[in-house]
A and B are shown apart, each in its own frame.
Chain A
Amino acid sequence: MSSISVRPRPGLFWFSSPQTFFALAGRMTPWFFAIAVLLALIGVYIAFFVAPTDATQGESYRIIFIHVPAAWMSMFLYVVMAFWAAVGLIMNTRVSSMMASAIAPTGALMTVLALVTGSLWGRPTWGTYWVWDARLTSELVLLFLYLGFLALQAAIDDPRRADKAGAVLALVGVVNIPIIYFSVQWWNTLHQGSSVSLTRSPSMASTMLLGMLIMALAFWSYSIGAALHRVRTILLERERRAEWTRELLAPKGLK
């Protein structure tokens, strides 16, 4: 790592420089967290005070306001992670690979959240915490894929090798997710069909849907904020010998 800091010229790769991206991420993080908190407050208000009680499931259905956004994010984040990992592998941009590493823990967290809230909802509704149903099982497999990615990166000492190996694994995972999903669906299905679809009108009250979408946006915003915050930490750690990090940390008495 060179100790001479060379400022890149504006262009496609402007923010692929650790230094400029660090500053950008620092400016964006508070905004995303603020939006997340604001939307979550609105979403929770709708969830508890506006949305009607479900005719068949009673009050216990309200957990979907956490469960569904978490499940959406868990799947979406894996694709985003694989995308940045692929960009890092193909374009050889280090910040993209760091972005993938920063997204993985949030994705794993969302997967755990979806599984836990799902089982808490399953207990009063199905009478059991866990069933070997297609969607539950494939969500669990998704968690294994996240953990595999994290474990592989943790096992490799050289950061550049960790980036590239993780990228190959994430891409193999992305190719396999649809195969695993449809195999598991063939294997067994109990989970209710999706209630939200783009092609037909949703089978739920519009206030419920509104609350869920607002919560989804809140989760989305939180995930971006958390990933940006984490990528800043990764940047500082990896670039700790670079001139700009030294200049940044020196006034704070850190070296």
Chain B
Amino acid sequence: MLSIFMQVVRRDLLLAMRQKADVLNTLFFFVVVVTIAPFGIGSEPALLRDIAPGLVWVAALLAAILSLPRLFANDYADGTLEQMLLSAEPLSLIVLAKATAHWLSTGLPLTAMAVVFGLVFDLDRYATLTLVATLAVGTPVLSLIGSIGAALTLGLRGGAVLASLLVLPLYIPVLIFGAGAVSAVASGLAVTAYFLLLGAFLLFAAVLTPWAVSIALRISVE
């Protein structure tokens, strides 16, 4: 059981490393979206400090959405996905492994990058730490929920845009508590509840989404 999980994670990470452009472009997109916002909003430091958590979180959401097609599209195109569906190993475990690999190659770099944005937007040390921590707990949820959208729209015309339409409304709770925790820290409030809820979302998503995704994949590939 564990070995198939590790194998799929290793394989997907290896593929991601071989096509570095995909991974780097997502990260670059994240940086550009956050950087471009002050041009529209103005360079007032106090204002930027207030909106920074929400801005970084929204950019992380968009970057996660943008990288969704990578989850299954290539495997679908070259027939690997069909072999995975036929395999005797539990499909939900393979799906969980793929979502994990997706997070390691997108969510984790975004989380690390957020440290820089904490400095750029002049967040204090505690707020920056909170931002990074919320992203670390929240971005895996984005990968997991996103995999449902990616599986349902597999092989459809305009599937990437459709997947983002399906998935963005489902991201709202993560966004609320992710960005909310940082704002709460900035106003000196306790953040335990935010982290408990984000952690609950993560556990909930980790248990239920692989199951939904396996059903969706069987529907899309049959």
- A residues neighboring B (CB under 8 Å): 141, 144-145, 147-148, 151-152, 155-156, 161, 164-165, 168-169, 171-173, 175-176, 179-180, 183-184, 186-187
- Separation in Å of the A135 CB from the closest CB of chain B? 14
- A183, B176: Cβ atoms closer than 8 Å: yes
Chain A neighbourhood of B169, CB < 8 A: 141, 144-145, 148, 180
Known: A144-B165, A155-B156, A168-B219. 10 other contacts (CB 8 A): A141-B172, A144-B169, A151-B165, A155-B158, A161-B222, A168-B215, A180-B173, A183-B173, A186-B177, A186-B180
Q: Could you list 11 examples of A-B contacts with CB < 8 Å?
A: A141-B172, A145-B169, A151-B165, A152-B153, A152-B162, A165-B220, A169-B166, A172-B170, A183-B176, A184-B176, A187-B180
Q: How far is the CA of A147 from the CA of B164 in the complex (A)?
A: 12
- A152, B166: Cβ atoms closer than 8 Å: yes
- B159, A148: Cβ atoms closer than 8 Å: no
Q: How far is the CA of A169 from the CA of B206 in the complex (A)?
A: 17
Q: Is B101 an interface residue (CB 8 A)?
A: no
- A184, B172: Cβ atoms closer than 8 Å: yes
Known contacts being A165-B152, A176-B170, A183-B172, is A155 close to B159, with CB within 8 Å? yes
| Residue interface mask B88-115, A partner, CB < 8 A = 1 | 0000000000000000000000000000
- A172, B212: Cβ atoms closer than 8 Å: yes
Q: Is B148 an interface residue (CB 8 A)?
A: yes
Q: How far is the CA of A23 from the CA of B216 in the complex (A)?
A: 33
Q: In this complex, what residue of A is CB-closest to B162?
A: A155
- A151, B162: Cβ atoms closer than 8 Å: yes
- Separation in Å of the B178 CB from the closest CB of chain A? 11
Chain B contributes a number of interface residues (CB within 8 A of A) equal to: 26
Chain B neighbourhood of A151, CB < 8 A: 162, 165-166
Known contacts being A148-B165, A161-B220, is A180 close to B156, with CB within 8 Å? no
Q: Which of B172, B176, B216 contacts A168 (CB 8 A)?
A: B216
How many CB-defined contacts (below 8 Å) exist between A and B?
A: 66
Interface members, chain B 142-166 (any A CB < 8 Å):
148, 152-153, 156-159, 162, 165-166
- Separation in Å of the A154 CB from the closest CB of chain B? 9
- B216, A148: Cβ atoms closer than 8 Å: no
- Separation in Å of the B79 CB from the closest CB of chain A? 19
Q: In this complex, what residue of B is CB-closest to A156?
A: B156
- A165, B216: Cβ atoms closer than 8 Å: yes
Chain A neighbourhood of B47, CB < 8 A: none
Q: How far is the CA of A180 from the CA of B170 in the complex (A)?
A: 7
Q: Is B4 an interface residue (CB 8 A)?
A: no
- B148, A179: Cβ atoms closer than 8 Å: no
Known contacts being A148-B165, A152-B152, A155-B158, is A165 close to B176, with CB within 8 Å? no
Chain B neighbourhood of A141, CB < 8 A: 169, 172
Chain A neighbourhood of B216, CB < 8 A: 165, 168
Q: Is B86 an interface residue (CB 8 A)?
A: no
Q: How far is the CA of A162 from the CA of B170 in the complex (A)?
A: 20
- Separation in Å of the B108 CB from the closest CB of chain A? 24
Chain A neighbourhood of B222, CB < 8 A: 161
Chain A neighbourhood of B212, CB < 8 A: 168, 171-172
Chain B neighbourhood of A175, CB < 8 A: 208
Chain A neighbourhood of B176, CB < 8 A: 183-184, 186-187
- A164, B148: Cβ atoms closer than 8 Å: no
- A172, B148: Cβ atoms closer than 8 Å: yes
- From B165, B170, B216, name the one whose CB has the most chain A CB atoms within 10 angstroms: B170
Q: How far is the CA of A80 from the CA of B165 in the complex (A)?
A: 22
- Separation in Å of the B100 CB from the closest CB of chain A? 20
Known contacts being A155-B157, A180-B172, is A165 close to B219, with CB within 8 Å? yes
Q: How far is the CA of A106 from the CA of B162 in the complex (A)?
A: 21
